């Protein structure tokens, strides 16, 4: 389903959207037994409460010596009956609140779990298309809206409907004439609610959208606070956020104007209805048609019913919000995963790689073909340096080797079998990456290294750190392996982060390695430590190195030049340098790799 479709459907609570809401209800299905029990308690708590107006009316009449209920002949017995009703309804209320919470909390946790699992399994192209701030809000605010729906809105809907239906039935049985008179106000209320409801919903959706946009600014700038500060753009961002916020305020105030008018009109009509009932009722009392007690219970019932009608408006609005949230949540749940959940272990690969006439353009930028027929063979254990102009598609080849995207033309063969024929998760276990810019998770050094193999023992981690030339600096920290690396690893230096990434890759022990060499040079000492660690890591593996340093290029078994979407030259440094107007020669002359 496209985003446009989902946007259009959000405006109405029609058949389609109710069907979608039902879709999310499937998360409640495992708990339907408890839910039904909760519904029964809800039914009893609301209907028992309807005995109150009748008993209060009886109290009034008993005080005047009129006995309406034979088994409640005096004030004391009516008083006890009132307390009993309150007590019973409290019991049922407690039970329904608890039971609904049980269903709700479990169902929402399941939904959050399912969403997160989906996020993890969605392909890179999905993340190219969506902003992380927006995705984050699905699992936070949209799910919260659904949580409210499951816990409060639904219960309120059933409660108000029960009160409304039973209240009106009781009133008709007690006093048809007065009930008919009271119900004259209904059509006015309903028509008004429909017209205004539509405006209000549209505007509150506008407010939500505007707020979401403003939240994206906060999320993105906090994530990249360093960039904001480098460019001294604090004021620019503050102004951008503030101007978005004033947009939010404007729309919200417009919505408030409609809401205010709506609410005051509803109060006016409801109160007007009650005054009308009192006026006509007192006339009936004066004619001896009904007692004061009858009138009292009638007015109380009218208030109950009025309250329910007023409440239904809010419930409708909340359901509307829930439909919007459902739409957005369902859109994610329905998106196509890049792989099946089941994974398959693949025996160790040899590591022969063949790019065979590979053509590729990014799904979000179809018009630009990045790779136009790449041919490259890397035999097992070989080190190949990939060079080419910036933006030429080197990282793209690395992405394809990790199967982040589907190849459009040609094929990528791993050990003579098409890469796409391997189980995806199983396949990726055999590919290791040391990226240019290492981002660590916020935990400890040990946790970050263990990410390469969650089952590794402490000894294996220490061994990997040692091979990665990281043990010395780790031990120099007072907390050693327990040292927290800070968000994204900011508390470590670039060279240290790289060695952690190397240790992680050693622990993963892949057959195929992708190294994206850092463009920014480290100081000579840490450069050597990193370089040595990389050499150790590459031993016995097939390596594709996106190279930026002449020393790396010279050490490679062969150099592949990516030029204009194809591999234009392959060979050793000296061989390639011999071609005077060759692409490699130019790259070296201009130091453009
Ligand atoms: N996720 C993406 N979606 C759309 N286009 C992309 C994406 N990633 C890269 N590109 C585009 O694909 C082309 C190749 O990019 P790539 O990152 O592979 O180049 P590169 O050779 O690795 O460059 P560099 O040496 O600067 O890292 C560029 O034009 C880039 O704009």
Q: Tell me if 184 is assigned to some domain.
A: no
Q: How far apart, in whole angstroms, are the C-alpha atoms of residue 560 and residue 568? A: 8
Distance 414 CA to ligand 1 centre (A): 23
CB of 364 closer than 6 angstroms to any ligand 1 atom: yes
CB of 38 closer than 6 angstroms to any ligand 1 atom: no
Q: Tell me if 383 is assigned to some domain.
A: yes
Q: How many other C-beta atoms can be found within 10 angstroms of the C-beta atom of residue 273?
A: 23
Distance 582 CA to ligand 1 centre (A): 23
- pLDDT for residue 340: 67
Q: How far apart, in whole angstroms, are the C-alpha atoms of residue 358 and residue 375? A: 7
Q: How far apart, in whole angstroms, are the C-alpha atoms of residue 441 and residue 329? A: 27
CB of 393 closer than 6 angstroms to any ligand 1 atom: yes
Distance 125 CA to ligand 1 centre (A): 13
Q: How far apart, in whole angstroms, are the C-alpha atoms of residue 471 and residue 459? A: 12
Q: Tell me if 100 is assigned to some domain.
A: no
CB of 365 closer than 6 angstroms to any ligand 1 atom: yes
Nearest CA to ligand 1 atom 1: 128
Tokens of residue 116, six digits: 């997160």
Q: Tell me if 457 is assigned to some domain.
A: yes
Tokens of residue 204, six digits: 């509150």
Atom of ligand 1 nearest to the CA of 548: 25
- pLDDT for residue 394: 94
| Closest to 542 (Cα-Cα) out of 344, 390, 401, 375 | 401
* Domain coverage including residue 524: 353-590
Q: Tell me if 561 is assigned to some domain.
A: yes
- pLDDT for residue 341: 63
The total number of structural domains that make up the chain = 1
Name the one residue in this structure whose structure tokens are 């359901």: 319
Distance 97 CA to ligand 1 centre (A): 54
pLDDT in tens, the chain (593 residues): 333 333 333 445 667 767 777 777 788 889 999 999 999 999 999 889 899 999 999 999 998 888 778 888 889 999 999 999 999 999 999 999 999 999 999 999 999 999 999 999 999 999 988 888 778 888 888 898 888 888 888 888 888 998 899 999 998 998 898 898 888 877 877 787 778 777 877 887 788 888 888 888 898 899 889 889 988 999 999 999 999 999 999 988 988 888 888 888 888 887 888 898 899 999 999 999 999 999 999 999 988 888 888 788 778 878 878 888 888 888 889 888 887 667 788 888 999 999 999 999 999 899 999 999 999 999 999 999 999 988 899 999 999 999 999 999 999 999 989 998 999 989 999 999 998 888 888 889 999 999 999 999 999 999 999 999 999 999 999 999 999 988 777 788 888 898 999 999 999 999 999 998 876 666 777 778 888 888 889 989 999 999 888 888 888 899 999 998 999 999 988 888 888 888 888 888 887 66
| Contact between 288 and 252 (Cβ < 8 Å) | no
- pLDDT for residue 190: 77
CATH assignment of the domain containing 448: 3.40.50.300
| Contact between 301 and 170 (Cβ < 8 Å) | yes
CB of 551 closer than 6 angstroms to any ligand 1 atom: no
| Contact between 430 and 348 (Cβ < 8 Å) | yes
Q: Tell me if 318 is assigned to some domain.
A: no
Strand order in the sheet with 353-360: 371-378, 353-360, 409-414, 417-418
Q: Tell me if 369 is assigned to some domain.
A: yes
| Contact between 514 and 438 (Cβ < 8 Å) | no
Q: How many other C-beta atoms can be found within 10 angstroms of the C-beta atom of residue 218?
A: 13
| Contact between 121 and 127 (Cβ < 8 Å) | no
Atom of ligand 1 nearest to the CA of 593: 25
CB of 388 closer than 6 angstroms to any ligand 1 atom: yes
Q: How far apart, in whole angstroms, are the C-alpha atoms of residue 458 and residue 462? A: 6
CB of 65 closer than 6 angstroms to any ligand 1 atom: no
């Amino acid at each position: 389903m496209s985003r446009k479709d989902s946007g259009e459907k959000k405006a109405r609570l029609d058949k389609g959207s109710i069907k979608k809401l039902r879709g999310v209800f499937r998360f409640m299905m495992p708990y339907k037994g408890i839910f039904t029990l909760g519904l029964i308690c809800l039914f009893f708590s609301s209907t028992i409460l309807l005995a109150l107006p009748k008993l209060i009316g009886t109290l009034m009449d008993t005080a005047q010596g009129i006995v309406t209920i034979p088994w409640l002949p005096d004030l004391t017995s009516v008083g006890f009956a009132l307390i009993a009703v309150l007590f019973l309804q409290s019991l049922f209320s407690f039970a329904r609140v608890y039971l609904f919470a049980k269903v709700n909390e479990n169902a929402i946790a399941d939904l959050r779990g399912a969403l997160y699992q989906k996020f993890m399994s969605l392909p890179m192209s999905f993340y190219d298309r969506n902003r992380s701030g927006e995705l984050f809000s699905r699992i936070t605010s949209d799910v919260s809206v659904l949580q409210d729906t499951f816990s409060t809105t639904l219960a309120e809907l059933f409660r108000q409907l029960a009160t409304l239906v039973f209240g009106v039935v009781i009133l008709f049985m007690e006093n048809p004439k007065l009930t008919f008179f009271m119900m004259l106000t209904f059509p006015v209320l309903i028509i008004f609610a429909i017209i205004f409801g539509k405006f209000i919903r549209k505007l509150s959706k506008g407010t939500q959208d505007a707020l979401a946009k403003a939240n994206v600014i906060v999320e993105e700038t906090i994530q990249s606070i360093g960039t904001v500060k480098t460019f001294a753009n604090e004021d620019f961002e503050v102004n951008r956020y503030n101007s978005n916020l004033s947009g939010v305020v404007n729309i919200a105030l417009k919505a408030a104007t409609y809401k205010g008018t709506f609410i005051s009109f509803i109060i006016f009509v409801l109160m007007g209805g009650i005054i009308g009932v009192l006026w006509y009722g007192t006339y009936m009392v004066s004619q001896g048609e009904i007692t004061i007690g009858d009138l009292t219970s009638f007015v109380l019932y009218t208030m109950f019913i009025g309250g329910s009608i007023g409440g239904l408006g809010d419930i409708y609005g909340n359901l509307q919000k829930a439909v919007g949230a459902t739409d957005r949540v369902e859109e994610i749940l329905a998106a196509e995963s890049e792989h099946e959940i089941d994974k398959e272990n693949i025996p160790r690969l040899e590591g022969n790689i063949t790019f065979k006439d590979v053509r590729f353009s990014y799904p979000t930028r179809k018009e630009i073909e990045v790779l136009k027929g790449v041919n490259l063979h890397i035999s097992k254990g070989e080190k190949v340096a990939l060079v080419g102009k910036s933006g030429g598609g080197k990282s793209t080849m690395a992405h394809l080797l990790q199967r982040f995207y589907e190849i459009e033309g040609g094929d990528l063969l791993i050990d003579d079998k098409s890469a796409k024929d391997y189980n995806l998760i199983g396949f990726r276990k055999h590919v290791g990456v040391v990226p240019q810019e290492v981002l660590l998770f916020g935990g400890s050094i040990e946790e970050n290294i263990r990410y390469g193999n969650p089952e590794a023992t402490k000894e294996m981690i220490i061994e990997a750190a040692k091979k990665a030339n990281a043990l010395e600096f780790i031990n120099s920290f007072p907390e050693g392996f327990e040292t927290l690396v800070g968000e994204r690893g900011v508390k470590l230096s670039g060279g240290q982060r790289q060695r952690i990434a190397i240790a992680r890759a050693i622990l993963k022990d892949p057959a195929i390695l992708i190294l994206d060499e850092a463009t920014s040079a480290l100081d000579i000492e840490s450069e050597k430590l990193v370089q040595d660690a990389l050499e150790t890591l590459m031993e016995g593996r097939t390596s594709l190195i996106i190279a930026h340093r002449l020393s790396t290029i010279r050490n490679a078994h062969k150099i592949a030049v990516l030029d204009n979407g194809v591999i234009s030259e392959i060979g050793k440094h000296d061989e390639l340098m011999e071609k005077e107007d060759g692409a490699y020669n130019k790259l070296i002359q201009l130091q453009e790799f």
